[in-house]
Amino acid sequence: MSISSSLWTTRGIGSISLLLISTAAVTAYEGRDESGAHFNLVAEWGEYGSKAGQFKYPCMLAVDASSSVYVVDQHNHRIQKFDAGGRFLHSWGRFGNGPGQFNYPFGIALDSSGAVYVSDMDNHRVQKFSPGGEFLKAAGGYGSESGRFKHPYGLAIDSRGIVYVIDTLNYRVQKFDRDLNFVGAWGSQEEIGIKTYMPHEIAIARDGSVILSDRQNHRISIFNPVGKLVKRFGQYGEGPDTLGGRFSEPHGVAVGPDGTIYVCDRYNYRVQRFNPAGVFEAAWSIRGPKEDSQQYVLGLAADAKGNIYVTDQYRHRVLKYRYSPSAPAATGFGAPGRVRK
């Protein structure tokens, strides 16, 4: 399937910053800027359905140390596991409220042992599984008390094994140990962000900072582990000529092995790349087989090799990209993009 990609980067010249755009209609070679940086589509898989390897509105995803990919298949109420190339390996879950069952699961994260944690959104809980999908424990229930949730969305795990969960409609982040025992919470609507509607996804930076996508304020917020605001970046912008660093409802967020921050810019149909300080570096658009077929990117994950995985929710598929600061050798796929100043 041919996919079209556009690339934005900023180049500083003295005090002047230029926007460079390159475009190409390609199969695997996705585009590059004038420095040679490129985003290469190396794998894609999935289609609409309920069979193994098919999806109904995939949401978040996570990658383990062996590059196996776990995908939240939300409307099939299950988790699917694939190898790094998209070959189906295993799945578990079905609709319900019992152990190992789901009611619109959303977020997913893995700890250092490979255990899988899933936010079971409309059951208002988090469930823990073995790497093979065996149910281990659940925590939560509807409410505002400590350890309870109102529609948990994203979750992430730090290097100490602390599980951070976005308790969306309680406007807070709750923290649990590996066994899902409550250990603390921070945040409120005012602390997470004035008029923060539905904080959405979460990631942990290399220094332990907590990164939140502040969806309807169109920005990214970074906190220390106890909830003190460290930095914010981004503002609203929508449309094909929108500058990097502007968002239209950011959703998935991920941190690469070098500390790079990636953000799904949902209604600009693209993924943006920032350095660890939050400075915009580049972005690429995600489109379907027709140039005007814009896709709703939602989930985002990075593996230890720097590959980027994206869920294209309404086309029911997963896309795998590789970023490189220099152009690859000729592959026979497509042609380099054009640079316009």
pLDDT value for 197: 52
Most distant CA pair in the chain: distance in Å? 60
Residue 190: is its pLDDT beyond 50? yes
Query: Higher pLDDT residue, 34 or 309?
Result: 309
Per-residue pLDDT, averaged over 13-31, amounts to: 30
Tens of pLDDT, residue by residue over 121-176, are 999 999 999 999 999 999 999 999 999 999 999 999 999 999 999 999 998 999 99
Tens of pLDDT, residue by residue over 30-66, are 444 434 457 889 999 999 999 999 999 999 999 999 9
Average pLDDT of the chain to the nearest whole number:
83
Q: Taking a C-beta distance cutoff of 8 angstroms, is the pair 262, 308 a contact?
A: yes
pLDDT value for 38: 72
Q: Taking a C-beta distance cutoff of 8 angstroms, is the pair 193, 217 a contact?
A: yes
Output the CA torsion sign for 169, 170, 176, 180.
Answer: negative
Torsion angle of the four alpha carbons 264, 208, 129, 89, in this order, in degrees rounded to the nearest 10: 50
Q: Quick one: DSSP state of residue 144?
A: S
State which H helix or E strand residue 238 sits in: none
Cβ atoms within 10 Å of 173's Cβ, excluding its own: 25
pLDDT value for 113: 96
Q: Residue 105 is encoded by which pair of tokens?
A: 């699961």
Q: How far apart are CA 65 and CA 68, in angstroms?
A: 7
Cα 91 vs. chain centroid, distance in angstroms? 20
The β-bridge partners of 264 are: 271
What DSSP letter does each residue of 92-136 carry, written as one string? E--BSSSTT-BSSEEEEEE-TT--EEEEEGGGTEEEEE-TT--EE
Per-residue pLDDT, averaged over 3-13, amounts to: 37
Secondary structure (3-state) at 286: coil
Q: How far apart are CA 295 and CA 311, in angstroms?
A: 10
Secondary structure (3-state) at 267: helix
> Order of strands across the sheet with 317-324?
29-32, 38-45, 317-324, 307-312, 297-302
Secondary structure (3-state) at 74: helix
Q: Quick one: DSSP state of residue 30?
A: E
Tens of pLDDT, residue by residue over 67-105, are 999 999 999 999 999 999 999 999 999 999 999 999 999
Residue 229: is its pLDDT beyond 80? yes
Place of tokens 């077929």: 293
* C-alpha distance from residue 296 to each of 29, 148, 237, 264, 270 (Å): 21, 30, 16, 9, 8
